[in-house]
Structure 1
Amino acid sequence: MSNVLRLAIVDPNDASREGLKSTLMGLDTVWLEAECSRYAFFADVLGQTNPDVGFVAMDSNPDEAMALIERVVQQYPKITILVSSSSTDGSLILRTMRAGAKEFLTQPVRPDDLATALQRISRLRFGAEGSSSTASKVITITGSTGGVGSTSLAVNLGCELAANPKNTVVVLDLDLALGDADVYLDTIPEYTLTDVAQNITRLDLTLLKRSLTKHESGLYLLPRPVQLEDSKLVSTDDLQRVISLLKATFTHLVIDTSKSFNKLDMLAMDVADHVLMVTQLDLPCLRNVVRLMMSFERNDKLKNKMRIVVNRVGQGGSAISVKKAEATLGKEVYWQLPNDFRTMIEVRNNGVPLLEHAPKAPLTQSISQLAADLLGEAPVGEVAGKSRGWLGMFGKKAGATEEPAATEG
């Protein structure tokens, strides 16, 4: 993602420094380049890392911090200085501004105050266009059971988003034991989620992209670990930092979860803007959706962004209609994907995205319109009814003679 502000911070107080780092982690357009616990060393840190912003917490020694600000402004005039202090004394604020600081924040730093200050700095540094850039969007895709097509949807939705030159898109394979997103793209990754998570404190934005696998479609992939035992090395804190860095780097992050709904999966759903629950029109799948939705009822935030996607609509042998499924679930079906088993087997075995292998197929067009709907863009065609997808787009019923279609994974 463009126009990310790179920060270096100095604060001798460990507690307040950790609090500031936690606050920065929640900001999409900020990357913590370096941290320092001594005023005496901070100028050297700035010289080595060359960040956009130097954040100076003054409370430990205001006089030494003031001297540091004056030195940094003279030595590194392109670095914007932001300061914080628990003191609201007018003379101190005036001195810091005269020394060259651009922003003054009161400790403890509130996230909204910090975000506003950084927005002003971004506007000065990148101009109005850069400061108004939209935040990264996270789409988390999960399944009601294995084999319902969540991975193929994640990969092909990512390719659809990446087809727009305005977007930069990455897929994160969070099925740490059995993930196979790399198979759908016919890639052999050099680095995995474990490598990135274990080295997150040493990564910058450039090194991050070098650690990802880039497909010719423009889609980036951060795959699951190679060794099964390495899946235990990724903690929720590690994943939170990886997600924050990916959000700061890409306009769209698509996360393919496992089906175990563990702590990592729940974190991926919690940080998402949209959560797509993929299911099929059979009793075991729908029963699992009911159970999961009952659990999610306790989390209003998650409940409100959860959307049901029915895959393989129109496949033979299903006695359950979409209408009956909605009655069972007590929730509208958000999207329907048509059944095209043969095409999906071909794209999976050949490692080629639908957009390349079968761009005119109803399934490809349905995923394309799904991408547009998630982004709030104008649909390609008229979509009939609230339960959208291929039936609305093409005006055909499930029993029509169109080639059957579906996603695997």
Structure 2
Amino acid sequence: MSNVLRIAIVDPDDTSRGALKSTLLGLDTVWLEAECSRYAFFSDVATQTNPDVGLVNLDGDPEAGVQLVESLTQTHPEMAVLVSSSSTDGSLILRTMRAGAKEFLTHPVRPEELAAALHRIARGKFGSSISGGSGGCKVIAVAGATGGVGSTSLAVNLGCALASNPENSVVLVDLDLAVGDADVFLDTIPEYTLSDVAQNVSRLDFTLLKRSLTKHSSGLYLLPRPVALEDGRHISTDDMQRMFGLLKATFTHLIIDTSKSFTRLDMFAMEMATDILMVTQLDLPCLRNVVRLMMAFGETEGLKEKLRVVVNRVGHGAGQISIRKAQDTLGHEVYWQLPNDYRVMVEVRNNGVPLIEQAPKAMITQSIAQLAAALSGDDALASEQEMPSKKTSWLGLWPGGKSSKSGDVATAD
């Protein structure tokens, strides 16, 4: 994405610098390019990394900090300089602004104040905002109530559907570190894996990151699970936070195919997700697992509210629980229904070709496009699917016009 602000910070205090880094990592389209603990070295850091924004905390030495701001303004005129300080002394603020600082932020810096300052800088640099709104990255975590319900095939084909829109740039991360197989669905042999990127993310920029990903013919980028089982054990949540931050700053859509173990990395991914698609089937074991998972999600603030229940393989057999009964059991609305088409999905899986290429006119393929549109907020496109005839009662529409959305997909893990 061209409107990402690359930032370098200098702050002699480790604690405040760490807090500032955490704030920056929480902003979608901001990339922390470099950090420095000494004013004397920051000019060299700026020369080597050429950031869009230099953020200087004056608290370590106000005099040296103001001199640095003045020097940066002269030697790096293309770089916007932001200043933070716990001091609210008017003379210090005036001297800093006269030295060339674009913004003065009171320390500790609040996220909304930093976002607003960066918004003003981005508007001047790119003519648009970098924070919030449609410009942010949509993060979709896809999870399964149990193995074999179709979560991986949904994640892969949803990613390909989103990538078919030239306005989107989409990456799929396979977070099933043990037995993930998203690469098999796309018939690719990746050169780099999740562990490679996580361990080297501090050295990557946007160009190197994309070179580390595998690009499919559909336009979807893939970051697959590690090759060796032991490699996944060395990936920490800190690694994931920085890696996801860079991916969010680079792509419009980030899809995460989680494992069925709901590890700390899976839960971390769901906490940072915009939407969580919980894939289940209309049988008692699956529905019971969804209930258990929703109870667990309720213990983390904001997690349950992002949950979208996706019922897969509707119409698979006469013994299935009805949609209405499933909703009563879950105590939660069904967001999307996915019709069963096992034959097509077996062909897709065995050939390593996504639905959008293997069967572009199939109902399943159209359903994925509708789901992608709904998740992207395009309600008009999402509602274009023809209403089914009475013979297609497998859609299980709600009575009285109150229905779960059914731009529906059938998938197989």
From 390, 394, 411, give the equivalent of 1:398: 394
Contact 1:382 1:392 in 2 (8 A): no
**CA shift at 1:65, angstroms?**
1.2
Rounded to whole Å, the distance in 2 between the matches of 1:319 and 1:40 is 69
Match of 2:268 in 1: 267
- Confirm or deny that 1:372 pairs with 2:373: yes
Aligned partner of 1:386 in structure 2 is: none
Q: How far did 1:231 drift? A: 0.8
Asked if 2 retains the 8 angstrom alpha-carbon contact of 1:148 and 1:280, the reply is yes
SS in 2 for 1:301: coil
Matches within 5 A, 1:324-403: 324-380=325-381, 382=383, 392=387, 396-398=392-394
Q: 5+ unaligned residues in a row in structure 2: which ranges?
A: 397-407
Structure 2 residue identity aligned to 1:139: I
Say if 1:204 and 1:369 are closer, same or farther in 2 by CA, change over 3 A: same
**Could you say what secondary structure the match of 1:33 adopts?**
strand
Task: Show the counterpart of 2:99.
Answer: 99
In the other structure, the counterpart of 1:164 is: 165
Q: What letter matches 1:11 in structure 2?
A: D
SS in structure 1 of the partner of residue 320 of structure 2: coil
Partner of 2:400: none
Q: Distance in 2 between matches of 1:69 and 1:187?
A: 49
The residue aligned with 2:109 is 109
Deviations 1:282-302 (CA, angstroms, capped at 9, x unpaired): 121111111112222333511
Task: Write the deviation string for residues 176-204 of structure 1: whole angstroms up to 9, x where unpaired.
Answer: 00100011111111111111111111111
Length, aligned pairs only: 400
Aligned to 2:233: 232
Task: Provide the residue aligned with 1:407 in structure 2.
Answer: 411
CA distance in 1, matches of 2:325, 2:395: 17
Partner of 2:8: 8
2-structure distance, mates of 1:60, 1:209: 37
Offset of residue 405 of structure 1: 7.5
Q: Aligned-pair distance for 1:316? A: 2.4
Give 1:77 deviation, angstroms.
Answer: 0.7
> Partner amino acid for 2:34?
A
Q: State the match for 2:203 in structure 1.
A: 202
CA positional deviation for 1:399: 9.2
* 1:387 counterpart residue number: none
Q: TM-score, normalised by structure 1?
A: 0.94
Q: Per-residue deviation at 1:38?
A: 1.0
Instruction: Check conservation: 1:6, 1:52, Cα contact below 8 A.
Output: yes
Q: Could you tell me the percent identity over the aligned residues?
A: 68
Matches within 5 A, 1:295-310: 295-310=296-311
1:90 positional shift: 1.0
Whether 1:193 aligns to 2:194 is yes
Which string of whole-angstrom CA distances, capped at 9 and with x for unpartnered residues, describes residues 325-384 of structure 1? 11211212111111111111111111111011111111111111111111110344747x
- How far apart are residue 29 of structure 1 and its match? 1.2
* Aligned match of 2:219: 218
Once the two structures are overlaid, the 10-residue window that deviates more, 96-105 or 124-133, is: 124-133
Superposition RMSD in Å: 1.9
Distance 1:323 1:232, change over 3 A: same
CA distance in 2, matches of 1:408, 1:159: 16
Q: Is the 8 A contact 1:342 1:405 kept in 2?
A: no
Maintained 8 Å contact 2:374/2:382? no
CA contact (8 A) 1:145 1:288 kept: yes
- State the Cα deviation string for residues 244-278 of structure 1 (Å, max 9, x = none): 11111111111100001111111111111111100
Cα distance in 2 for residues equivalent to 1:30 and 1:86? 23
The answer for the alignment partner of 1:58 in structure 2 is 58
Deviation sequence 1:52-107 (CA, Å, 0-9, x none): 01111111111111111111111111011111111111111111111111011111
1:199 counterpart SS class: helix
Partners in 1 of 2:293 and 2:184 — Cα distance? 28
Q: 1:8 and 1:152, CA in 2 relative to 1: closer, same or farther beyond 3 A?
A: same
- Deviation, structure 1 residue 129: 6.7
Within 2, Cα distance between the matches of 1:64 and 1:364?
61
Aligned-partner SS, 1:128: coil
Residue 49 of structure 1 is matched in structure 2 by 49
Contact 1:355–1:364 (Cα < 8 Å) also in 2: yes
Deviation by residue 1:293-331 (Cα, 9 ceiling, x = unmatched):
222233351111111101111112533111121121121
Asked if the contact 1:80–1:102 (Cα under 8 Å) also holds between the matched residues in 2, the reply is: yes
The 8 Å contact of residues 33 and 51 in structure 2, kept in 1 or not, is answered as yes
Does residue 121 (structure 1) correspond to residue 118 (structure 2)? The answer is no
Contact 2:277–2:307 (CA under 8 A) maintained in structure 1: yes
Q: Distance in 2 between matches of 1:94 and 1:253?
A: 43
Offset at residue 406 of structure 1 (A): 2.7
Aligned to 1:76: 76
The aligned residue for residue 279 of structure 1 is: 280
Distance 2:332 2:50 in 1: 51
TM-score of the aligned structures, taking structure 2 as reference length: 0.93
Contact (CA 8 Å) 2:337, 2:409: kept in 1 or not? no
* Paired letter, 2:108: P
